[in-house]
Every structure is written in C-alpha cells, then in structure tokens.
Amino acid sequence: MPSQAAKASPAAEPNGIEKLSAKEIYDTGMKTNAEAGSFREEMERNGTKSDLRLSATECVGTVEISEKGSFEVIRKGNDIWAKPDTTFAEGMNSALGKQAFSSDKWTHGTPGNALMAKLASWCHQEQFTAPDTLDAGSKATKGKVTTANGQPAVAVVLAEKGESVTWYVATTGKPHFIKQDSTRDDMQDLTDSGFGTSVGAKAPSGAVLAAPDA
C-alpha cells in the first residue's frame, strides 16, 4: 500500500483580475490569450459554427456555414489548405463558374490567393498578433464573479439598445478570456480553451488541387 493517499491537483490560485476596471479586465484577458501562444476557439452565430485550434502561424479545424455547407481548414505558415464538403464545393464551383473545388481533395494556396485568404480568415490569427482592446470611451461595466465554462470568472458587460455582449475572464490561474455571450446579430458566442496546447498543423496527404484565382 502507498504510504499516503495521492494528493489531488492543487486548485488554481486567485489572480485578482476582478479588482481591475472593466477595460483593464477585458484588455488583460485578450493579452493573456495572445501570450498563451495557442488555444482552441469554438464559435457560433446564426447557425454558423467553427471549431478551430489556433496560433499566430497555425490553424486546424472545421467551419460550418449555415445552408452553405462546411469545410476543413489547415494553415501552416504561408500555406493554406481547405477541403469542402459536397454542398460547399458545389456552391463555390457554381460561383466561380468552374470545377475548382472537390469534396474528396484538399485545395492548396497561400494568403496571396483571395479565395484561400478568405477561407483562412476564419482562423482569426490577429488575436495573437494584435489582441483586441476596449475603446477608452466604452460603456462596458464590470459584473460579478460567476462561473463560465466550469471555472470562476468575472464578467464584463456591454449593454445598449436592448442588446448585450458579455465577456468572461478567469479569476483563477492566468486571467484568460474564456467566453463571450452575445444577443447581438453582429457578434458571435465564443468559447476559448486549451491554452498553450500545440496546434500541430501538418500538410494533408493525398491528392491536392491548386487554388483557383477568384
């Protein structure tokens, strides 16, 4: 028998972020996420969803666009690959007037290709290179410490014209931005997690098509 029982992992220590102003909480959360180097971002808005693992130079995951189908995307440095489902491929080919995308092949291009750059824009990699900040004149207010994604977090709320967006920043461990809830049509619901976990983007195997010009 072991001489003593295994100890549970220690709980994350309070970080005191809730003592700061609404702008400081928001700005710190976004900066902390950028400094993590990578994380998983799950997004949903008006039936459109994405589930992506991100860093400043890599991206891997899936985007589903309401009624237009879905596509897988990989970005590694200056290379972008996308693989659409049948519905998305048919829509793209119809818009282009040629059979440029296939549901059983990856398409490869670079950010210099307008189509591939648009598909890769879902990766939101500017979160690492230029993390967002609240405007100095923002009317956002600090809310209470609550629970978001199963962990203690402080809320920052921006409410106007009967709509609102609430951001949550972790109050234990590192002050990561972990969630965004919105009732606004122009802003999505977001969940960030898996901070610092390697994205591990790799070039896909198999047949690869060259990206068409838009």
Q: Is 119 helix (H, G, I), strand (E, B) or coil?
A: helix
The arithmetic mean of pLDDT across residues 145-154, rounded, is 97
Structure tokens of 161?
């014209």
Q: How many percent of the chain have pLDDT more than 90? A: 85
pLDDT band for position 6 (50/70/90)? very low
Q: Who's near 208: CB < 8 A, 6+ residues apart?
A: 81, 105, 106, 107, 108
Question: What are the strands, taking DSSP E only, across 13-162?
Answer: 38-45, 48-55, 58-65, 69-76, 79-84, 106-109, 141-148, 151-160
Q: DSSP label at 171?
A: S
For the segment(s) 17-129+138-210, the CATH number from 3.40.50.300, 2.40.110.10, 3.40.50.970, 2.50.20.20 is: 2.50.20.20
Contact 177, 169 (CB under 8 A): yes
Element (H, E) at 144: strand 141-148
pLDDT band for position 13 (50/70/90)? very high
**CB-hemisphere CA count at 13 Å for 110?**
3
Contact 66, 185 (CB under 8 A): no
pLDDT for residue 1? 43
- What is this structure's pTM? 0.90
Which of 20, 17, 14, 26 lies closest to 179 in space, CA to CA? Answer: 26
Structure tokens of 202?
């790799």
CA distance 173 to 150: 13
**Could you read off the pLDDT of 91-143 as tens digits, one per residue?**
999 999 988 899 999 999 999 999 999 999 999 999 999 999 999 889 999 99
Q: Where are the domains of the chain?
A: 17-129+138-210
